[in-house]
Amino acid sequence: MTAGGARVELPTYDPQSYGAVCATVDGCLVCGDVAVPVTVIEPGEADALCEDEHGARGAVGVELVVPVIQGDRLLVHGGVAISRLAPDRAGDSPERSDRPHDRAQGRESA
């Protein structure tokens, strides 16, 4: 990116915890209702190492959704998992669904 002829380096993003991925254009975690879907990599009773869809990893408080096992998909808000995600519905075919939306699958946050 350049500004006024000078090259400007964009800052690299280093999330301290999950729920932190909050680009302005995608809404804002801090004002409430944004949450990030992650997958459990290393389960734990209080915190679990989780990975988001972009491959970034971090600790998530999982006490509200325990027990968790590797591969569980969680919804994280403010560094804490608040919900489990329904199993992937990739196998649903359009013929099996009476609602257009059900033909889609996946991302849970905005």
Partner 1 sequence: MRFVDEFRDAELARTLGTEIAALAEPGRHYKVMEVCGGHTHTIYKHGIEDHLPESVELVHGPGCPVCVIPMGRVDDGIHIAKQPDVIFTCFGDMMRVPGGDGSLIDAKAEGADVRFVYSPLDALKIARNNPDKEVTFFAIGFETTAPSTALTLMRAKAEGVTNFSVMSNHVTIVPPLMALLESPDLRLDAFIGPGHVSTVIGCRPYEFIPSDYGQPVVVAGFEPLDLLQSIYMIMRQLDQGRSEVENQYGRVVPWEGNLRALEILEEVFELRPYFEWRGLGFISQSALALTDAYSDFDAELRFNIPGVRVADPKACQCGEVLKGVIKPWECKVFGTACTPETPIGTCMVSSEGACAAYYNFGRFARSKARAGA
Q: List binders of partner 1 among 22-81 (CB under 8 A).
A: 22, 24-25, 27-35, 37, 46, 53, 61, 63-66, 75, 77-80
Max CA separation in the chain (angstroms): 56
26-44 per-residue burial string, b: 16 or more CB within 10 A, e: under 16: eeebeeeebbbbbebeebb
What type of residue is 82?
A: I
Residues facing residue 49 across a β-bridge: 42, 59
For residues 29 and 19, give the distance between their C-alpha atoms in angstroms, rounded to a whole number: 7
Q: Does 20 engage in binding with partner 1 (CB under 8 A)?
A: yes
60 DSSP 8-state letter = E
Q: Shortest Cβ distance from residue 45 to partner 1 (Å)?
A: 12
Cβ nearer to partner 1, comparing 41 with 64: 64
Tokens of residue 87, six digits: 């199993």
Cβ nearer to partner 1, comparing 31 with 70: 31
Q: Does 96 engage in binding with partner 1 (CB under 8 A)?
A: no
Q: Does 99 engage in binding with partner 1 (CB under 8 A)?
A: yes
Residues contributing to the site for partner 1 (CB under 8 A): 15-17, 19-20, 22, 24-25, 27-35, 37, 46, 53, 61, 63-66, 75, 77-80, 82-83, 85-86, 89, 99-101, 103-110
